[in-house]
Amino acid sequence: MAEQLEVVIITGMSGAGKTVAVQSFEDLGYFVIDNMLPNLATKFIDVIKQSGEFTRMAMVMDSRSREFYNQISPCVASLRKRTAINLGLLFLEATDEELVSRYKESRRAHPLNQQDGVLPGIMRERQLLGNLKAQADQVIDTTNLTPRQLRARITDRFSPDKAHSFYVNVMSFGFKYGIPLDADLVMDVRFLPNPYYIPELKHQTGNDVAVQEYVMQSPLAKNFYQYLYSLIEVALPGYIKEGKSSLTIAIGCTGGQHRSVTIANRLAHDLKNNEYPVSVHHRDVDKAQ
C-alpha cells in the first residue's frame, strides 16, 4: 500500500499567527501553499502525491479567498474521506482585543474590513469561522504566545515522528488573565494552599521544588490530584476511540504562578510515564506578580 500523504489545512482568525505557522511547517519539511483556493486543493494534493518528492504538505485556507470561503468546509469533508491522505485541520485563534492590537501595530487592513474599522471585520470573520473551528483537530490560542512559543507548539504537534500520535497538551494559566480559548478540559485549583502568601515562596513558581512541596503536602492537594489523574486516565482512551487527535488540559489558579504550575507539571510528568505524548506549557508563569 502506498504511503499516506500527510496534509494539514491551516486556517483561523486573520492576525492569529498563520504567517508564523507557514514558516514553522516549512521548517518541518512540509510543502506549503499559502492562500489556497478550496476548489483547487484536491488537484494540488494529487500533483504533490504523484511527484513522490514530498510526504507532507500544508495549505492555508482562510477568509482571503472571500467568495470561495464557503467551500472550505465541504473541501475538508471531502478530503477526510480519502484514504490516500491523512488530514489534519489546524485552527489559530486569539481574542478580539489581541487581534485589534496586532492590526493596529501592523497598520494592515483586515481582509473583511468594509471601511468600518478593524473590530467589525474581526467579528464578521469570527462568525464565518464558527463551523470551521468546530471541525478542527487542533485549536491553538495565540493570544499570549510569542512567535517562538507558537513555533514550539506546532513543532510539538506536527513534527513527523508525532504525526500519527494522540497528543496531550497540559497547560497552566491564571484566571485573572482569562481562560484559554483552546482548552478542552479546564480545572480550577484555586482552593489549594496558596504559596503566594508565604514570603519565601511568593516570588518563586511551581517550577521550583519548594513551591511544589508546599502545594502537594496538604491532604487536600493529594486527594484532589489522585481523583484528577484517575479521571483523566479513564477519559483519554475514550477521546482516542472517538478519533480525537489531541487534548488540551488547562489547570488554572489565580495568577498562574504557583498552584496551577505545580499541578500541570505533576500531571504532565505522570502522563509521560504512562507513555502518552505530552507537552507542558505555562502560559502566565512569567507575568509580574
**Domain-by-domain residue ranges, the chain?**
5-164, 168-282
Residue 94: Cβ within 10 Å count? 24
Alpha-carbon distance values, 37 to 109, 155, 251 (Å): 21, 25, 38
85-93 and 138-141 beta bridge pairing: parallel
- Cα separation, 48 vs 169, in Å, equals 31
Please identify, in words, the CATH class of the domain defined by 5-164: alpha beta
For each of the chain's 289 residues, which pLDDT tens digit applies? 457 788 999 999 988 999 999 999 998 889 999 988 888 888 888 888 888 888 899 999 887 766 667 788 888 888 888 878 888 899 999 999 999 998 888 777 777 776 777 888 888 888 888 888 888 888 999 998 888 889 888 888 888 765 556 789 999 999 999 999 889 999 999 999 999 999 999 999 999 999 999 999 999 999 999 999 999 999 998 888 776 778 899 999 999 999 999 999 999 999 998 888 888 999 999 886 5
Reduce the DSSP state of residue 9 to 3 states and report it: strand
